[in-house]
Structure 1
Amino acid sequence: MTFELLGLLLLVGAFVGVMAGLLGIGGGLIVVPALVYLLPKAGISPDITMHIALATSLASIIVTSGSSAFNHLKLGNVDMYVIKWLMPGVVIGGFIGANVAEWIPSQYLPRVFGVIVFCLSIQMFRSIKVTSNKSMPSSGITTVYGTGIGVVSSLAGIGGGSLSVPFLNQHGVEMRKAVGSSSVCGVFIALSGMAGFILHGYQAEGLPSYSLGYIYLPALFAIAATSMLTTRFGAKWATSLPTAQLKKIFAVFLMFVAGTMLF
């Protein structure tokens, strides 16, 4: 861990915090690609880089989503019905996703991540000009959706905002409340997914020093140190920016990340 690498991770964390508050993402869409690029510079084997990136990303999401969720709660941007029925599913799904990631060969994980994010970007582009009057589905169906969101989110090392925000917005939840509710759910997706990666990581070989399972603690602390300070700026912007503009920012951002990981 050099000073240059530490500085880059601090910058990544600052950007993650703003995006977490603005778009309701836990930051994994930024953290995973950044760590895949930066970790080999710390001498970490490419064979385990993606697993470490996913696990460290989920751990950092606990901080960024937690800080973002706190700010959105203060601003009244959280729908408690969503939290009540989406939460059980995302917790179960998060743990399942971490186990599935362990079975996938490491060379395919970046492509899996890229495909997931590309599909999400297309979905968001399609919804930019669509105004939905649908109501939220029943509590049972909402929980099932939550499980799917948890599995995919943990598998991609993300907090679930890229899945839960479009889902909630398409079912009549205002964009700002969708973002705020997603931040709360992201904390619990990250906790359950992180637990799975810690358990599997204890059996892995070649892990760097200062690791907790697959979590690389120096990278985690660097990202968390700045991200928790900058989420409040993103949360304030989310309250003032128009919904259509938020969707455009979200869609373009997802497309960029997907292209980075695929190509």
Structure 2
Amino acid sequence: MELIIFLVIGALAGFAAGLFGVGGGTIIVPLLFIVFTQMGYDADAIMHLALGTSLATIIVTSISSLMAHNKKGGVIWPVFKNLAPGMALGCFLGAGIAGQISGLYLQIVVGVFLLWVAYKMFFAGKKQAMNNANSASSGANYRNTTLPSKPKQLAAGGVIGIASAIFGIGGGSLTVPYLTRYNVVMQKAVGTSAACGLPIAVAGALGFMLFGMQKQVDVPNTIGFVHIYAFLGISIMSFFTAKLGAKVAHILSPQLLKKCFAVLLTVVGFYFLYKGLV
């Protein structure tokens, strides 16, 4: 029964990863939180387990998602090379920071963060939501944007990496708004975000494993703050459904995709606030 639950979570998370470029974390974290709670795990470790396991599964969903987006020319590789080093280092350090924060406080922080991102995405200016139709299919369209310098992109990657570990969401919730802020078309931002999810997920998963082992978590079938069975079940299913989500992302309009993304984050954000405050 547990394996079936993890497979269902993986199907939903994979589709979200491909559709929104968020690594599926916005789906995985709340659902794992519910499942681990019902399984009677240590309340102080549940949120950390959800975050660590989420990042571990994002390794697989990111590979599947970025391959699908790259086939459609949706990944801006020069930007990825500037962001990735900072993201990896930041996410590893962020895992250590998250390990020192109580599970209850993490719920509130994650909830507030997601609501803020949803607000910024839904009410973004028209010039962020609308780009020339040709830019969606042009492999070099990012050159028409005004992106920060390489050092600033590296620093931004570090901040995104730290936040990604604390929120367990693969970085898409920050990477996508960061890129669209500089007029990168939504499909390109989603594709690049999917690629950025890989270094974030690898570094974050290793960090949660290491720092979790130091905490000596008393939960079966885990390595630190990563649940092995949940990782396997979610990863198997999400690898396939991420490709479907990526195909849908390139069918929808940038405006519609951005609004759907915002609605999803709003629902999850209110859920965590409810659990953390009630």
TM range (shorter): over 0.9
Q: Which residue, out of 124, 129, 132, partners 2:126? A: 129
Q: What amino acid sits opposite 2:92 in the alignment?
A: F
1:233 pairs with 237, 241, 244, which one? 244
The alignment's TM-score, normalised by the length of structure 2, stands at 0.90
2:135 alignment counterpart: none
Q: Distance in 2 between matches of 1:51 and 1:259?
A: 19
Q: Secondary structure at the match of 2:215?
A: coil
AA partner of residue 57 (structure 1) = S
Could you tell me how far apart the structure 2 residues matched to 1:128 and 1:8 are? 39
Q: How does 1:114-125 map to 2 (within 5 A)?
A: 114-125=111-122
Is contact 1:128-1:247 (8 Å) kept? no
Superposed CA deviations along residues 26-46 of structure 1, whole A, max 9, x for unmatched, are 111111111111112223111
> Which amino acid is the alignment partner of residue 204 of structure 1?
K
Q: Distance in 2 between matches of 1:206 and 1:197?
A: 11
Number of residue pairs matched by the alignment? 260
Tell me whether 1:166 sits opposite 2:177 in the alignment: yes
Between the aligned partners of 1:221 and 1:164, the Cα distance in structure 2 is 26
Equivalent of 1:212, from 203, 223, 246?
223
Secondary structure of 1:136's counterpart equals coil
**Between 167-176 and 51-60, the greater mean CA deviation after superposition:** 167-176
User: Which of 14, 32, 35 is equivalent to 1:35?
Assistant: 32
Q: Could you tell me how far apart the structure 2 residues matched to 1:128 and 1:192 are? A: 33
CA contact (8 A) 2:15 2:24 kept: no
Match of 2:78 among 49, 67, 81: 81
Q: Which position in structure 1 is the counterpart of 2:8? A: 11
What RMSD over aligned residues (CA atoms) do the two structures have, in Å? 1.4
How much has 1:172 moved relative to structure 2? 2.1
**Residues 42-71 of structure 1 deviation map (CA, whole Å, 9 limit, x = unaligned):** 231111101111100000100111110111
1:258 aligns with 2:269: yes
Is residue 200 of structure 1 aligned with residue 197 of structure 2? no
Contact 2:111 2:273 in 1 (8 A): yes
With 243-252 and 118-127 compared, the bigger mean Cα shift is at 118-127
Return the letter of the residue paired with 2:49: I
TM-score computed with the length of structure 1 as normaliser: 0.95
2:189: which partner in 1?
178
Deviations 1:65-120 (A, max 9, x none): 11101111112111012111111111111112111101112221111111111111
Equivalent position of 1:61 in the other structure: 58
C-alpha separation in 2, matches of 1:155 and 1:200? 13
Distance 1:232 1:190 in 2: 18
Measured in 2, the distance between the counterparts of 1:134 and 1:230 equals 31
Measure the CA separation in 2 of the matches of 1:131 and 1:98: 32
Q: Distance in 2 between matches of 1:128 and 1:25?
A: 21
